[in-house]
C-alpha cells in the first residue's frame, strides 16, 4: 500500500518510495522530444477520434502505465485480465516500473507524443499535467454515471479536481495517521494518545512519556509537510491558495516555535535523531527504531511499519480538530486527453474502482478502496491486524473528514523538501524560528514561480 507517497511515499505511501524529482529535471524530460522512447505507447492507440470505435466489438488495445513493484504488477495484471474476460475485444499493453524515474519516463513519453492511454499519477504532479492539458477532464463521464463516484467520500473524488476539471480519479484513499507504540505505553502504565487531543495536550503527553520511559515521547514533525498542512487547516489557512502559498512567514514561525517548545521540554528526540526520522524510508521511522514513541505517517503505512517491529502499534488522527484531515487520494488514474480510446479508458477506471471482483483482487495495494461499500467487503476479507487497524481508523475519520483542499500546485515537491531544510535549520539551532520561516517562504516562492 502507498501513502504519496507516493510515496511517495513520502511518498505518496507503502513499500515503494519515490524521491520527488527536482522541477528542472522534470522540465528537461518534457523538453526531451528528441529522446527515443523505448515504450511505444502510441502504437497501441487505435479506434476513432471521437473517444471510441463506432463498432462496440471492434478490437481495442489500450496502453496503461503505472509504478510499483512485482506484487502490484501481479494484482493489476489480474484485474485487467478480468476486464478483458468481460470485454474480449479489449486488450492491454501493460508497462510498469519502480517509483524512481517513473515521472521522468512519463514526461518524456508525453513530450515525445507517445503517452499511454491510461496512467497512474499522484498529487505531486496531477495539477501540473492538468495545466498542460495532458489529462482528460472526466467530469462529463462522472455526471453521466459512466464514471460512478456515488459511493466515494465526496472529499476523495474532489481531491482530483484541478481548475474545475476532474483530472484524475482516486485509485485508493489514505489520510494522515499518528502511529504510536502501544507496547511501550502499556509496559509503563501510560495512557494512549487519542484522536481530538490538542497539539499542546499531545506535547504534554509526550513530555510525560519521555520522563517515565526515557524514550522521547514524539517525533518532532516540524519538517513534515503533512503535519504542517493539517495544522494550517486548523488555523483556517491552507498549504496553497490558488496559484500562491496559503500561509505566511508568521504562520511558519508559530509552527516552528511550537516544536521548539516541545524540544525544550524534552518531549522530542535531539536534532540528530529527528533528522533520522525525517526520512521517508519506512524502516527509519522512529516508532519502529525505538527512538520515539510516535511517528507521523500515512495511516495505510501501518502494515509496513509493523513488519519492522515486534511491538504492538496503534494509530489515531493527528492532534487538533480531525475535520482538518480529508480523504486523500493515495494516487490517481488519469486518461490522456489525446487518447483515441477515451471511453474505454474511462470504463476501465470505473471497473477498477467499482467492480466487486476487481476491487477484491486489488485489495489495499493502492490504498483503501475508494468505493466505501466495497471497502467494507475488502475489510471483512482482510486478515492482517495492522491493516484492519488502518481501515478502522479511516472508517472512524470518514465521518469527521473536512472538505478536501485543492490539489497541490506545481513545485509542491520542492516546497516539501524546502520545509525539511528550514525545519532542520531551526532544529539544529542554525537559525531562529523566524529566520528559518523567512528562508522557507522565499524558497517556496521560487519553487512555485
pLDDT in tens, 216-227: 999 999 999 999
- For residue range 195-208, list pLDDT tens digits in order: 999 999 999 999 99
Query: What average pLDDT does the segment 12-32 reach?
Result: 39
Question: pLDDT tens-digit profile of 225-281?
Answer: 999 999 999 999 999 999 999 999 999 999 999 999 999 999 999 999 999 999 888
- Residue 5 pLDDT: 41
Amino acid 54: pLDDT: 60
Query: What is the CATH code of the structural domain delimited by 176-324+411-448?
Result: 3.40.190.10
Cβ pair 314, 389 in contact under 8 A: yes
- What is 60-173+329-400's CATH number? 3.40.190.10
Residue 362 pLDDT greater than 90, yes or no: yes
Comparing 116 with 46, the larger pLDDT belongs to: 116
Task: Answer whether residue 10 shows pLDDT above 60.
Answer: no
Taking only the tens place, the pLDDT of each residue in 144-196 is: 999 999 999 999 999 999 999 999 999 999 999 999 999 999 999 999 999 99
Looking at residue 388, its pLDDT comes to: 85
Angstrom distances, CA of residue 159 to CA of 67, 154, 185:
20, 9, 36
Question: Sorting pLDDT into bands at 50, 70 and 90, what band is 99?
Answer: confident
Region 309-317: what's the mean pLDDT? 95
Q: Are 184 and 289 in contact (CB under 8 A)?
A: no
- Mean pLDDT (the chain, rounded): 88
What pLDDT does 2 receive? 42
The boundaries of every CATH 3.40.190.10 domain in the chain are 60-173+329-400, 176-324+411-448
- Does residue 383 surpass a pLDDT of 80? yes
14-28, 327-341, 432-446: range with lowest mean pLDDT: 14-28
Amino acid at each position: 500500500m502507498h501513502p504519496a507517497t507516493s510515496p511517495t511515499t513520502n511518498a505518496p505511501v507503502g513499500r515503494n518510495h519515490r524521491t520527488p524529482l527536482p522541477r528542472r529535471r522534470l522540465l528537461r524530460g518534457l523538453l526531451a522530444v528528441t529522446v527515443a522512447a523505448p515504450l511505444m505507447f502510441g502504437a497501441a492507440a487505435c479506434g476513432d477520434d471521437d473517444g471510441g470505435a463506432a463498432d462496440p466489438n471492434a478490437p481495442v488495445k489500450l496502453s496503461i502505465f503505472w509504478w510499483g513493484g512485482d506484487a502490484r504488477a501481479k494484482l493489476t495484471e489480474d484485474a485487467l485480465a478480468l476486464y478483458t474476460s468481460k470485454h474480449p475485444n479489449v486488450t492491454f499493453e501493460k508497462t510498469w516500473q519502480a517509483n524512481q524515474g517513473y515521472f521522468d519516463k512519463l514526461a518524456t513519453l508525453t513530450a515525445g507524443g507517445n503517452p499511454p492511454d491510461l496512467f497512474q499519477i499522484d498529487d505531486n504532479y496531477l495539477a501540473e499535467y492538468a495545466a498542460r492539458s495532458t489529462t482528460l477532464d472526466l467530469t462529463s463521464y462522472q455526471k453521466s454515471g459512466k464514471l460512478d463516484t456515488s459511493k466515494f467520500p465526496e472529499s476523495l473524488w474532489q481531491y482530483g479536481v484541478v481548475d474545475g476539471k476532474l483530472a484524475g480519479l482516486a485509485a485508493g484513499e489514505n489520510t494522515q495517521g499518528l502511529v504510536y507504540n502501544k507496547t511501550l505505553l502499556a509496559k509503563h502504565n501510560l495512557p494512549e494518545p487519542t484522536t481530538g487531543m490538542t497539539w499542546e495536550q499531545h506535547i504534554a503527553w509526550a513530555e510525560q512519556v519521555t520522563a517515565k520511559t526515557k524514550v522521547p515521547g514524539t517525533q518532532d514533525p516540524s519538517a513534515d509537510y503533512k503535519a504542517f498542512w493539517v495544522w494550517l487547516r486548523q488555523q483556517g489557512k491552507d498549504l496553497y491558495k490558488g496559484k500562491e502559498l496559503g500561509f505566511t512567514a508568521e504562520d511558519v514561525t508559530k509552527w516552528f516555535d511550537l516544536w521548539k517548545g516541545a524540544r525544550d521540554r524534552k518531549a522530542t528526540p535531539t536534532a540528530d535523531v529527528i533528522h533520522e526520522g525525517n526520512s521517508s524510508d519506512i524502516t527509519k521511522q522512529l516508532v519502529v527504531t525505538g527512538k520515539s514513541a510516535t511517528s507521523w505517517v500515512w495511516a495505510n503505512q501501518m502494515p509496513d511499519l509493523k513488519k519492522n517491529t515486534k511491538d504492538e502499534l496503534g494509530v489515531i488522527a493527528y492532534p487538533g480538530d480531525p475535520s482538518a484531515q480529508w480523504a486523500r487520494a493515495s494516487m490517481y488514474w488519469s486518461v490522456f486527453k489525446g487518447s483515441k480510446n477515451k471511453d474505454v479508458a474511462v470504463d476501465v477506471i470505473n471497473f477498477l474502482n467499482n467492480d466487486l471482483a476487481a476491487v477484491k483482487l486489488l485489495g489495499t495495494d493502492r490504498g483503501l478502496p475508494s468505493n466505501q461499500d466495497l471497502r467494507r467487503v475488502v475489510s471483512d476479507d482482510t486478515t492482517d491486524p495492522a491493516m484492519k487497524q488502518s481501515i478502522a481508523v479511516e472508517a472512524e475519520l470518514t465521518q469527521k473528514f473536512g472538505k478536501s483542499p485543492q490539489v497541490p500546485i506545481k513545485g509542491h515537491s520542492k516546497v516539501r523538501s524546502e520545509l525539511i531544510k528550514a525545519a532542520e535549520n531551526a532544529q539544529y539551532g542554525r537559525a531562529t524560528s523566524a529566520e528559518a520561516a523567512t528562508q522557507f517562504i522565499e524558497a517556496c516562492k521560487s519553487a512555485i514561480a
